[in-house]
């Protein structure tokens, strides 16, 4: 794992050296106001923080309207009667606009009629990663001041939902901390791990930062944080090595970032598609794979949490204990959702040779196969949680858990 991370960092440095000069953000005119795009930065110019707040609405989902906080947010299309989603991106090694930002904005506006504010801090997030980390507190203060102006307009703090990606998740946590943990919701999409795994709760995303804090973990062995940071922490496919992501350095940038960015793509897909990504509370990923955690009773009252839902039916968010770890599997591509099936089988006698079993799931339009290898063992029977919509192989251990 350490060598993989070193190779990934080397790729980043190589790409940075080839980075071209900055281009100015473009503007167009749509729906009676100017459309402002994200800035483009060059890491050679330093990392001075230069924040833009871009407003997207249901009537103009592709046109970012620049919010000027100094005018009291009165001369823009912001609707104080609607809920507000604030998106915060993370470290931008190339100094460019996040490729996923438009998809996330459109997915949010597709699922609900809200205000969407995208925080553009490209200038402060470019250059070296430690420099971006140094800008986190100042950025959080800037966002906090914007939220204070929204509250002055009559916006309810509980109607504010911050979605932070990677380093942006910890910015979101700090913003929530500045508001006494009284904002409605924070969603961390693979919160950054470097510089934060050993940080104090006051410095990183934490359950006390909002009335409800959730995190989706997809790269816990590299760029994502490996510890729980919310009321609910989704460890997708164990929180690492996502299906469909390349495992060889020859894949270049996709190898570098695929697992880390999978959290964003999962969230977008969950908002756009009707199929549910249901997760199950469990002590460990291995226990989940062994079929020991299919009970949604404790602490979720018969309704396990689902990624992306605006409201978690049957779950009293305010009474949830902190740091509930939940697990789920996904398929390699959108819409990512799978059906989890518990397979239980009994062998009549101890096996002295390796046994292979192939299980095929049939539905109206798909056929999915799981291959199970049982090594010589005297521990029977076996339970196993299997996802459909994917071909996958399992090798059961020799010792009983």
Last residue of a domain, one of 328, 359, 385: 328
Mean pLDDT across the stretch 90-117?
94
- Whether pLDDT at 6 is above 70: no
Whether residues 186 and 290 share a domain: the answer is: yes
Whether residues 303 and 371 share a domain: the answer is: no
Cβ atoms of residues 88 and 117 within 8 Å: no
What is the pLDDT, as a whole number, of residue 27? 43
18 is a domain residue: yes
Last residue of a domain, one of 306, 328, 350: 328
289 is a domain residue: yes
Q: Which residue has the tokens 């396990």?
A: 304
Extract the tokens encoding 293.
């955690």
What is the pLDDT, as a whole number, of residue 247? 86
Cβ atoms of residues 80 and 27 within 8 Å: no
Active site residues: 166, 190, 260
Query: How do beta strands 160-165 and 84-88 pair?
Result: parallel
What is the pLDDT, as a whole number, of residue 383? 54
400 or 178, greater pLDDT: 178
401 is a domain residue: no
Whether residues 35 and 171 share a domain: the answer is: yes
Query: How do beta strands 185-189 and 160-165 pair?
Result: parallel
What is the pLDDT, as a whole number, of residue 315? 52
Kindly report the CATH number assigned to the domain that includes residue 196: 3.40.50.1820
333 is a domain residue: no
Whether residues 390 and 283 share a domain: the answer is: no
What is the pLDDT, as a whole number, of residue 289? 85
- Whether pLDDT at 15 is above 60: no
Whether residues 134 and 182 share a domain: the answer is: yes
91 is a domain residue: yes
335 is a domain residue: no
Q: pLDDT-derived band of residue 16, with 50, 70 and 90 as boundaries?
A: very low
Whether residues 164 and 267 share a domain: the answer is: yes
Count structural domains, the chain.
2
Whether residues 297 and 321 share a domain: the answer is: yes
Whether residues 130 and 241 share a domain: the answer is: yes
Cβ atoms of residues 323 and 230 within 8 Å: yes
Most confident of 66-80, 160-174, 326-340: 160-174
Mean pLDDT for the chain?
Answer: 81
- Whether pLDDT at 389 is above 90: no
Show Cβ contacts of residue 10 under 8 Å, excluding neighbours closer than 6 positions: none
Cβ atoms of residues 284 and 235 within 8 Å: no
10 Å CB burial of residue 337 (0-12, 13-18, 19+) is: buried
311 is a domain residue: yes
The region of weakest confidence among 25-29, 115-119, 155-159, 293-297 is: 25-29
What is the pLDDT, as a whole number, of residue 276? 84
Mean pLDDT across the stretch 10-20?
37
CA 44 – CA 72 distance, rounded (Å): 34
317 is a domain residue: yes
Q: Tens digit of pLDDT for each residue in 43-63? A: 655 557 899 999 999 999 999
Cβ atoms of residues 25 and 39 within 8 Å: yes
Q: pLDDT-derived band of residue 292, with 50, 70 and 90 as boundaries?
A: confident
179 or 304, greater pLDDT: 179
Mean pLDDT across the stretch 368-393?
58
What is the pLDDT, as a whole number, of residue 2? 40
CA 27 – CA 373 distance, rounded (Å): 58
Query: How do beta strands 324-328 and 340-345 pair?
Result: unpaired
Whether residues 158 and 57 share a domain: the answer is: yes
Whether residues 320 and 384 share a domain: the answer is: no
Q: Tens digit of pLDDT for each residue in 210-240? A: 999 999 999 999 999 999 999 999 999 999 9
- Whether pLDDT at 122 is above 50: yes
The region of weakest confidence among 145-154, 238-247, 331-340, 371-380 is: 371-380
Whether residues 28 and 139 share a domain: the answer is: yes
The region of weakest confidence among 268-272, 306-310, 358-362 is: 358-362
Q: Which residue has the tokens 């690492």?
A: 240
Cβ atoms of residues 249 and 7 within 8 Å: yes
Last residue of a domain, one of 278, 297, 328: 328
Q: pLDDT-derived band of residue 358, with 50, 70 and 90 as boundaries?
A: confident
Whether residues 126 and 236 share a domain: the answer is: yes
- For residue 164, give the nearest of 242, 267, 41 by alpha carbon: 267
The region of weakest confidence among 33-37, 182-186, 283-287 is: 33-37
- Whether pLDDT at 9 is above 80: no
76 or 195, greater pLDDT: 195
Extract the tokens encoding 141.
């203060």
What is the pLDDT, as a whole number, of residue 28? 46
Range of the domain at 192: 2-328
What's the predicted TM-score (pTM) here?
A: 0.82
Extract the tokens encoding 240.
């690492």
């Amino acid at each position: 794992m350490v060598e993989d991370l070193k190779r990934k960092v080397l790729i980043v440095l190589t790409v940075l050296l080839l980075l071209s000069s900055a281009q100015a953000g473009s503007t167009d005119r749509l729906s009676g106001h100017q459309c402002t795009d994200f800035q483009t930065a060059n890491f050679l110019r330093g990392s001075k923080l230069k924040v833009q707040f871009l407003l997207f609405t249901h009537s103009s989902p592709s046109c970012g309207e620049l919010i000027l906080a100094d005018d009291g947010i009165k001369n823009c299309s912001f609707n104080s009667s609607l809920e507000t989603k604030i998106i915060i991106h993370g470290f931008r090694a190339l100094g460019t606009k996040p490729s996923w930002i438009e998809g996330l904005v459109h997915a949010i506006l597709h699922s609900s009629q809200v205000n969407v504010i995208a925080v553009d801090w490209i200038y402060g997030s470019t250059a070296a990663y430690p420099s971006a980390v140094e800008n986190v507190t100042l950025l959080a203060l800037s966002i906090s001041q914007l939220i204070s102006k929204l509250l002055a307009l009559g916006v309810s703090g509980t109607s504010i939902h911050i979605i932070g990606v990677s380093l942006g998740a910890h910015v979101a946590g700090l913003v929530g901390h500045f508001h006494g943990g009284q904002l409605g919701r924070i969603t961390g999409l693979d919160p950054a791990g470097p510089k934060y795994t050993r940080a104090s709760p006051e410095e990183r995303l934490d359950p006390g930062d909002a009335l409800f804090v959730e995190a989706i973990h997809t790269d816990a062995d590299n760029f994502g944080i490996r510890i729980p940071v919310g009321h609910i922490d989704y460890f997708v496919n164990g929180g690492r090595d996502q299906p469909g992501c390349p495992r060889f350095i020859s894949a270049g940038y996709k190898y570098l970032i695929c697992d880390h960015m999978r959290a964003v793509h999962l969230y977008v897909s969950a908002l756009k598609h009707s199929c549910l990504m249901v997760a199950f509370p469990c002590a460990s990923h291995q226990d989940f794979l062994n079929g020991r955690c299919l009970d949604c009773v404790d602490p979720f009252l018969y309704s396990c949490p689902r990624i992306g839902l605006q409201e978690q039916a049957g779950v009293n968010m305010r009474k949830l204990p902190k740091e509930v770890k939940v697990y789920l599997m996904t398929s390699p591509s959108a819409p990512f959702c799978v059906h989890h099936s518990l397979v239980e089988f009994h062998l009549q006698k101890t096996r002295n040779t390796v046994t292979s079993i192939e299980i095929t799931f049939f539905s109206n339009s798909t056929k999915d196969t799981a291959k199970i290898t049982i090594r010589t063992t005297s521990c029977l029977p076996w339970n196993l949680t299997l996802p459909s919509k994917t071909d996958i192989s399992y090798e059961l251990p020799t010792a009983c858990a």
